[in-house]
Structure 1
Amino acid sequence: MHFYSVRYLILIFLFFNLREAAAQETDSVKTITPVTVQAFQQKKEATTAVVRRVTYEPPSSKASLVTAMNTIAGVRMEERSPGSYRINIRGSSLRSPFGVRNVKVYWGGIPLTDPGGNTYFNQLAFNNFNSVTVFKGPASSMYGAGTGGLILVEPPAEREKGLGLEYFTGSYNARHILADGTWVKDNYTNTVTYAHDESDGYRAQSAMQRNNFSWNTQLKWNSQELTASVLFSDLYYQTPGALTLKEFEQDPRAARPKAGAFPGAAQINAAIWQKTITAGVTHKQKFGSYWSNTTTGYGSYALVKNSAVRNFEQRREPHWGGRTVFDFEKKWAETSLQWSTGAEAQQGYSTIRVSDNRNGRPDTLQTDDDVTIGTYSLFTQGILSRKSWTYTAGVSFNRSRLLFSRLNEYPVTEQVFRYNNEVAPRFTILKKFRPADLLATVSRGFSPPTVAEVLPSTTIINPDLKAEHGWNYEITARKALLSGRLRLEATGFYFNLSQALVQRRDSSGADYFTNAGNIRQKGLELYASYARYFEAGLPDHLNITANYAHSHFKYQDFVKAAQRYSGNWVPGVPMNTLNAQLDLVLKPGIYTDINYYTASSVFLNDANAERAPAYHLLGIKLGYRKQIHAVQVNMYAGVDNLFNETYSLGNDINAAGGRYYNAAPPRNYYLGAAIRVQKN
């Protein structure tokens, strides 16, 4: 049977079974508390068409966030090798050959995205967060530049007091330690976490090691709250490089071999050394009955060394900034008004030195650049609610300035890039009908080129890149049954993106970027969840969720040199993805998590001449959790990729010479144990 037919049958079967379960439900089932988020300052039950939370306990190994993030329809997280992440929210990985770009990321209100538009998401370890909230679609009306979405990471600042220790190991000599402690006294809370991760990796030249430390402290008094946070990460991971189809089929575990004048990945120890530290303070205060203010100031520093096939790059990237928001909230009978206005600013000064690579060490200097980047955003938004209607209108004014100075060429000249006067509005209308809730959204997003796009790994500054921008339209229907225990949701969207930035790769694997005219992104996202608690019998509770995304992304008008790509499919985005999860817990403490994920084939270049095949992944986790007085014990074992699929995760799009493929691990196993001591 055809792959798409199988997917649709699975989806239809799941929805009908959820409906049948709803019809048979009894009054004894406990109510599930609705999810509440703070995105866009809307302090009410979230419309899950635009946000989704990743819970603290994943359905797979805690060694990677990939499985947990891929449970969200429209979100695709990829791992080219251990420690090398990409995040795609509705197609945004077009601009991310590696790392996370064009997606704004905040950790407890502190921006992890630097003013140049890059985010070192791999600095985060598993115990750095309680949950992750993902906003799909442009977030420029409140969070500055970006067309690819928003990720809000909630740090472990408000855990119950106690100590926790966890160790787990797995295939490819993987070893992981997670430790945390929380102390609470009166209105003062301290939380400290430590994580150690290391693995030899499935492929040659794919070992990684990371040490991570975080500290969060919170003090509350009268109508004020002060939070201080520190996040430090020391990460080393090897980069095996992409393979051609022939190399991938012959030996998917191999690293990129020597080709012509370019050495192999192992020969020059292709790897990244990355140290990052971020510290910030947030102050919240209420003024009377209606007004409040939240102000955050932060500083960050990244030291990155990259031994690549083409060259050896060294970057020092300090940046700092702040965000302040004034909120007004008042209710009159059945009417309420929320109004927020504020500003966010960031400033960074980077030095980027690129040298010849001699056996994994820097040699003759190629370029020496100083980069100054400043950006700021002014925003305001109002939310008016009356009975079953909610109206939201917001707008931001954004400006950024990028300055390059190449110090090794005389006379030293400066190149200045300005992206000014970009206004980004957002409008939503929510109507709560008896059959279902309907939400309509119109928003505009814009995103200037990042530092890594204007100055890519070819070291050639591209002065011709333009900011991408576009209008997004979407509508969501949401239905909750059985006091919220059964939730069904469907979202359709259309995003018309102009001057879209896309990535190319030359024969050495170096990336460069170009504007691709217009892209029409049309899609459908479906979500269903069902939860049942059992007061009698062996089962304690059952959770079933399903997420499906259909992405119809095509170039509308894209001509580059003699090549015409108008009407072609956008590469790197599967047309269909489906995730289904089952979580069953028995009263004695035995539990199991089953996670299934499938993605259709993807085109690998703009010409649509090559494509990577579809794949199906199944993971099963079995564990035992027991509470003994103040001590909780958790033991578990699991297997990922049970079907033993050979597939590529994190393809190199538009790569020269057909070097598209980064092999993911086949069937692999893990085993772990955790203990938590709670204090009164």
Structure 2
Amino acid sequence: MKSGFLLSLFIIPFTLFAQTKITIIDKTNQEPIPGAIIKIQGQNNQISDANGIVELMIQNPIILQISHISYETITLQVEPEKEFMISLSPILNPLGEVLVVGFESERPLIHQAGAISKVFESDLYRFNENSILSAFNTKPGIRIEQRALASYRISIRGSSLRSPFGVRNVKVYWNDIPFTSPDGTTALNILDLSNIQNTEIIKGPAGSIYGAGNGGVISFESRKRVEENYLSSDVGFGDFGLFRYRIGIDQKIGNGGINVSYVDQKSDGYREHNAVDRKVFQLALHTNPSEKQSLSAQILYSDLNYQIPGALTQVQVEEDRTQARPGSVAQNSSIAQKTLFGTLSHEISLSQKWKNITALYVSTTDFENPFILDYKKETSYSYGGRTKFTYDDQWGKYPVRIIAGAEYQYGNTLAQNFGNRQGVADTIRFSDDLVTTQAFLFQQFEIDWTEKLLMTVGFSENFARYDINRLIDAGPAEPSSNTKNFNPVFIPRLALVYKVNNWSGIHGSISSGFSPPTIAEVRTNEGSINLDLEAERGINYELGYRSKFGIFNFDFTAFYFKLNETITSYTNDQGVVLFRNAGATDQKGIEFSIDYALYRNQLSAIQEIKLNHAFTGHYFYFSDYESGGNDYSGNQLTGVAPNSLVNLLDIRSKLGIYLNVTHQYVDQIPLNDSNTVYQDAYNLIGGRMGWRETLGGKWDLEIYGGVDNLLDEEYSLGNDLNAFANRFYQPAPGRNFYGGLKFGFRY
């Protein structure tokens, strides 16, 4: 009897658990996927074998997360004593499987009526991890330039024409929260790659649902969920004194979690007086108060300091490309910027048909900018938010979706301009109290007329006001109060999508655009206040086709954008950048990309070879532009390359070794309105090679190294347009190398 009792004690624990077999395969070719990680809450991770199989001993239904470096992560529930066949979609997905939220409507990309590009997290890590520049420049119609190491200028379909520095005419969101300031500028340089997971870019006017801005919309998304307890860190280094390190912690708490990350990046820069020092801290809290609600709060703090070497003439470039503009060092031309950005987001399902998302933010910034000609100090704060209601229903046989909401932003800045005496603020020249207010209401109606035809009608009503109260004026003018009102502007959009079949679709749209000048364009650095500067208005016609043919994904868009009251920049005799309305422009263009997996076999030594090609043809001209007695009508639009081409090659092996190669061709770029000076065409080739592996289900390791500008091309990235004294050029680095090490630990 005793022996029977002991035997039962031995058997019972094993009968409590049952074997569950999971086979993981590639969705496109049905081949097994070895090395997939199966994460089980409270247990050690498991890894699929050479046949893609994992066997689990479980007692009750459990939630698994299955991930692989080359595939989309999925989460599902499995039960004891069953077999499961799980298909993972490669990161290179058919367009019909890529979900985007452009125009506030989550649909497969093939069903979206608009030119939308998606930048995945994997795209960011094909390059040196010191900025987003390289990854974004692989997308058709998009170009990021860099005048200094942390001074970005974004051009979406030529929208940088009016941006001598900074990001303007492009609306930016971070986790569905307005990241563009109420004054129309965006401090994109305060973000690190670690603050971004995925990005969507809408090209062209999207004012019907995102308000002011003719260039387009960039929507960044950081991690919104904590899947596991994870500690990670990485260190990167490179030429010109580049050193970057990061540490991050993900900690699950109840049904939510917390993310914390800190990044410190430094570089001496390629040129004299070109150093950068950036520290970024992010804290994010995520929770689900109920099954119908989610709540997120984030704090982002950035401490940024960077030097500005300034633009050079052609003669100076030929003498020494690395020199700074004369006077930049002596006057300590630079920017010091400390920003605190706090957000709160709430999502709730009000019923089966109604849902609401509301996001609020508050931000403060201390900004100092000694420049050759003056010394600027600004202290500012802003707050605002965005709310959106979504209603999904069936009207008879027609599925419909109604979206309605509002966005409001308020900003207050104390802006002071001083003389600059060898890098130290001298006598005050003028001081202004600047108040900016922007708001808009938006509505959108979507209806599926048939299984193949989707129509979208949207519009917004926009309000903008600048109050410029001059407190001190050391010049002959008396202090005064100035107000610039932009009358309520109605921005409509009509779009259609025709689903040819499950693998292809045609889309077309007509949309209006509205872009008021930023307050930095109305109130300039030499003290003038240009209340005559009018908002740009335009209308965009667009036709596109997306499809999948076998292994090929194809995305083509043609557009025509007619812009009136175009704002352009010019430089006066003192070197101060000023702005004016320059009549009209005609902007015709084509953009297309094609990507394909040339080879994919998870069991072979070389598991995958992927290729991507992206072409941009922007044929933009001044249609009606006279200035200073000169007629520039018919000239190319300043600062826009007519043609550019990007080619990408990605190779991944079974041993964890990978290779990424990038080629970029940029056509010659006119640098002044008269088209007498051009930036020469250039070719850039770069590559990154590394080893990436998961060990024991707990450790993630990666070692990598790379090269930029392999051909050692001499080019300028971030030219000054219509520059006084022919100072057009901001020379970019020649051939340079970088490398790094990453590790992660699940606990």
Check whether TM > 0.5.
yes
Displacement after TM superposition at 1:411 (Å): 5.3
SS, match of residue 338 in structure 2: strand
In 1: Cα distance, 2:303 partner to 2:30 partner: 51
Answer yes or no: is the 8 Å Cα contact 1:507–1:655 preserved in 2. no
**Is the 1:169–1:175 Cα contact (8 Å) retained in structure 2?**
yes
Counterpart of 2:556 in structure 1: which amino acid?
A
Match of 1:92 in 2: 159
Residue aligning to 1:256: 325
**Contact 1:105–1:111 (Cα < 8 Å) also in 2:** yes
Q: Tell me the secondary structure at the aligned position of residue 433 of structure 1.
A: strand
Post-superposition offset of 1:159: 5.1
Amino acid at match of 2:429: Q
Structure 1 partner of 2:428: 365
Structure 2: distance between partners of 1:309 and 1:384: 56
Q: Deviations over 1:261-306 (max 9, x none)?
A: xxx1011111100111111101111111100111111101111100
The CA distance in 2 between the partners of 1:307 and 1:460, in whole Å, is: 19
Q: Does structure 1 conserve the Cα–Cα contact (< 8 Å) formed by 2:226 and 2:252?
A: no
Alignment of 1:528-539 (within 5 A): 528-531=594-597, 532-539=599-606
Q: What letter matches 2:611 in structure 1?
A: I
Look up the match of 1:495. 561
1:50 corresponds, among 99, 115, 122, to 115
Q: Does residue 279 of the first structure (1) align with residue 339 of the second (2)?
A: no
Range with greater deviation from structure 2 (426-435 or 26-35) = 26-35
* C-alpha separation in 2, matches of 1:534 and 1:52: 28
After TM superposition, give the deviation of residue 331 of structure 1 in Å.
4.2
Counterpart AA for 1:155: S
Q: How does 1:561-640 map to 2 (within 5 A)?
A: 561-629=628-696, 630-640=698-708
Deviation at 1:111, TM superposition (A): 1.2
Q: Which amino acid aligns with 1:241?
A: G
CA deviation after TM superposition for structure 1 residue 95, in Å = 1.5
Alpha-carbon distance in structure 2 between the residues aligned to 1:543 and 1:381: 38
Q: Helix, strand or coil for the counterpart of 1:452?
A: helix
Alignment length, in residue pairs?
647
Q: Can you list the C-alpha shifts for 1:46-99, whole angstroms capped at 9, x where unaligned? A: 247521121223321001211101011000001112111110000010111111
Residues 482-525 of structure 1 show CA distances to partners (whole Å, capped at 9, x for unaligned) of 3xx52012110000000011111234432110001101110000
Superposed, 1:242-253 pairs within 5 Å as: 242-253=311-322
TM-aligned CA deviation for residue 157 of structure 1: 2.6
| Deviation at residue 27 of structure 1 after TM alignment | 6.5
Shift of 1:250: 1.4
Matched letter for residue 655 of structure 1: A
- Structure 1 residue runs of 4+, over 6 Å off? none
* Corresponding residue for residue 352 of structure 2: 289
TM-score (norm 2): 0.85
**In structure 2, the residue corresponding to 1:272 is in which secondary structure?**
strand
Q: Give the deviation of 1:452 after TM superposition.
A: 0.7
How many angstroms apart in 1 are the aligned matches of 2:584 and 2:539?
A: 12
SS of the equivalent of 1:654 reads coil
Deviation of 1:580 after TM superposition, in Å, equals: 1.1
Helix, strand or coil at the partner of 2:521? helix
Contact 1:234 1:274 in 2 (8 A): yes
Q: Secondary structure at the match of 1:295?
A: strand
In structure 2, the partner of 1:76 is 143
Rounded Cα–Cα distance in structure 2 between residues aligned with 1:507 and 1:187: 62
Query: C-alpha separation between the residues in 1 aligned to 2:658 and 2:531?
Result: 56
After superposition, residues 474-493 of structure 1 pair within 5 angstroms as 474-482=542-550, 485-493=551-559
Deviations 1:301-324 (A, max 9, x none): 111100101100001121101111
| Unaligned 5+ runs, structure 1 | 1-24, 258-263
Q: Give 1:533 deviation, angstroms.
A: 2.8
Question: Does the 8 Å CA contact 1:323/1:342 hold for their aligned counterparts?
Answer: yes
Distance in 2, matches of 1:180 and 1:414, equals 48
Alpha-carbon distance in structure 1 between the residues aligned to 2:395 and 2:89: 29
Q: Give SS of 2:540's match.
A: strand
1:305 matched to 2:363? The reply is: no
2:284 to 216, 241, 244: 216
* Mapped partners of 2:691, 2:144: distance in 1: 29
Residue 52 of structure 2: aligned partner: none
Alignment CA distance shift 1:540-1:508 (3 Å): farther
Aligned-partner Cα distance in 2 for 1:307–1:73: 36
- Quote how far apart the aligned CAs of 1:597 are: 0.8
2:640 maps to a residue whose letter is V
Q: Distance in 2 between matches of 1:398 and 1:387?
A: 34
Aligned counterpart, 2:484: 417
Matched letter for residue 151 of structure 1: I
Which protein has the larger Cα radius of gyration, Structure 1 or Structure 2?
A: 2
- Going from structure 1 to structure 2, the CA distance change for 1:159 and 1:521 (only over 3 Å counts) comes to farther
| Aligned residue number for residue 3 of structure 1 | none
The equivalent of 2:577 in structure 1 is: 511
Residue identity matched to 1:163: L
Q: Find the counterpart in structure 2 of residue 395 from structure 1.
A: 459
In 1, are the aligned partners of 2:226 and 2:258 still within 8 Å (CA)?
Answer: no
Query: In structure 2, which of residues 404, 420, 434 is the aligned counterpart of residue 341 of structure 1?
Result: 404
Provide the rounded CA distance (Å) in 1 between the counterparts of 2:175 and 2:319.
46
- Of 549, 554, 571, 2:621 maps to 554
Asked if structure 2 preserves the Cα contact closer than 8 Å seen for 1:454 and 1:462, the reply is yes
Match of 2:306 in 1: 237
Q: Structure 1 residue 659 and structure 2 residue 724: aligned?
A: no
User: Shift in Å at residue 31 of structure 1?
Assistant: 4.5
* Counterpart residue type for residue 521 of structure 2: E
**1:449 aligned to which of 489, 492, 517:** 517
Taking the aligned partners of 1:135 and 1:240, their CA distance within structure 2 comes to 32
Aligned to 1:470: 538
In the alignment, the residues of structure 1 paired with residue 178 and residue 574 of structure 2 have an alpha-carbon distance, to the nearest angstrom, of 33
Cα deviations across residues 209-245 of structure 1 (Å, max 9, x unaligned)?
Answer: 0000111111112211111111110000000000001
Structure-2 change in CA distance of 1:654 and 1:296 (3 Å)? same
* Secondary structure in structure 1 of the residue aligned to 2:121: coil
Mapped to 1, the partners of 2:688 and 2:480 lie a distance apart of 58
Deviation at 1:335, TM superposition (A): 3.7
User: Does the CA-based 8 Å contact 2:638-2:721 persist in structure 1?
Assistant: yes
Match of 1:165 among 215, 233, 236: 233
- Counterpart contact for 1:66–1:78, Cα < 8 Å: yes
Distance 2:535 2:546 in 1: 34
What SS does structure 1 have at the residue aligned with 2:472?
coil
Distance 2:349 2:731 in 1: 52
Distance 1:320 1:171 in 2: 40
Structure 1 residue 599: deviation in Å? 0.2
- 2-side partners of 1:547 and 1:506: how far apart? 38
Contact 2:208–2:492, Cα closer than 8 Å, also in 1: yes
CA distance in 2, matches of 1:642, 1:507: 39
Q: CA deviation at 1:535?
A: 3.0
**TM-score under structure 1 length normalisation:** 0.93
What is the identity, as a one-letter code, of the residue corresponding to 1:513? F
Task: Tell me how far apart the structure 2 counterparts of residues 282 and 226 of structure 1 sit (CA, whole Å).
Answer: 6
For residue 177 of structure 1, what is the aligned residue in structure 2? 245
Which among 428, 438, 444 is matched to residue 506 of structure 2? 438
SS of residue in 1 equivalent to 2:344: strand
Equivalent-residue separation in structure 1 for 2:402 and 2:298 (angstroms) = 27
What is the identity, as a one-letter code, of the residue corresponding to 1:392? Answer: T
- In the aligned structure 2, how far is the partner of 1:640 from the partner of 1:587? 26
CA distance in 2, matches of 1:123, 1:438: 38
Q: Amino acid of the residue matched to residue 117 of structure 2?
A: R
Query: 1: CA distance between counterparts of 2:382 and 2:710?
Result: 44
Structure 2 portions without partners, runs of 5+:
1-27, 33-87
Alignment-derived partner of residue 522 in structure 1: 588
